[in-house]
Amino acid sequence: MAEVAAGAFLSSLFEFLLERIDSLQLVHFFKGQKLNHVLLKKLKITMIIVNGLLDHAEEKQIFVSAVKEWLNELKDAVYEADDLLDEIAYEALHSKFEVDLHPPDKRCATFSFSIIPNQLIN
């Protein structure tokens, strides 16, 4: 019974990760970093396929111990993927705040002529 509950939890966690891959914040971060959108799409497709396998494996794990071991390994991989998505989301948010704090136009507008010798501006 605990195995079935763990499998259901893993499946719902996987669905959550799929939603995070589609988040606008993540997509904008990847666009800003000029990363490969094709790879991001492949990751999403792979996660959808694995989610389908999870549904099937949840039923089999009760009877086949190798499936149970595979589910445990997959669970670890899903947690690592979640951590990676957290890091990407953090970096995206951090980058956005950096731009908001130091917009490119503001840096030019605050330039002071007092650092230029008078001979150059007269």
Q: Summarize pLDDT for 101-112 with one digit per residue, the tens.
A: 776 655 444 444
Host H or E run for residue 78 = helix 65-101
On whether residue 73 sits in a domain, the answer given is yes
Mean pLDDT, the chain, integer:
68
CA end-to-end distance (rounded Å), the chain: 85
On whether residue 93 sits in a domain, the answer given is yes
Least Cα distance to 20 among 74, 86, 76, 77 occurs for 86
Look at residue 120 in the predicted model and tell me its pLDDT: 42
Domain count, the chain: 1
On whether residue 118 sits in a domain, the answer given is no
Look at residue 41 in the predicted model and tell me its pLDDT: 77
On whether residue 117 sits in a domain, the answer given is no
Dump pLDDT digits (tens) for 71-101.
888 878 877 877 877 787 787 777 777 777 7
On whether residue 55 sits in a domain, the answer given is yes
Phi, psi of 103 (to 5 degrees): -65, 145
On whether residue 70 sits in a domain, the answer given is yes
On whether residue 87 sits in a domain, the answer given is yes
This model's pTM is above 0.85: no
Q: Which of 49-53, 69-73, 112-116 has the highest mean pLDDT?
A: 69-73
Range of the domain at 46: 6-98
Q: Residue 12 in contact with residue 82, Cβ under 8 Å?
A: no
Query: Which of 18-22, 41-45, 50-54, 113-117 is predicted with the least confidence, judged by mean pLDDT?
Result: 113-117
pLDDT band at 50 (very low <50, low <70, confident <90, very high): confident
On whether residue 72 sits in a domain, the answer given is yes
Q: Residue 54 in contact with residue 11, Cβ under 8 Å?
A: yes
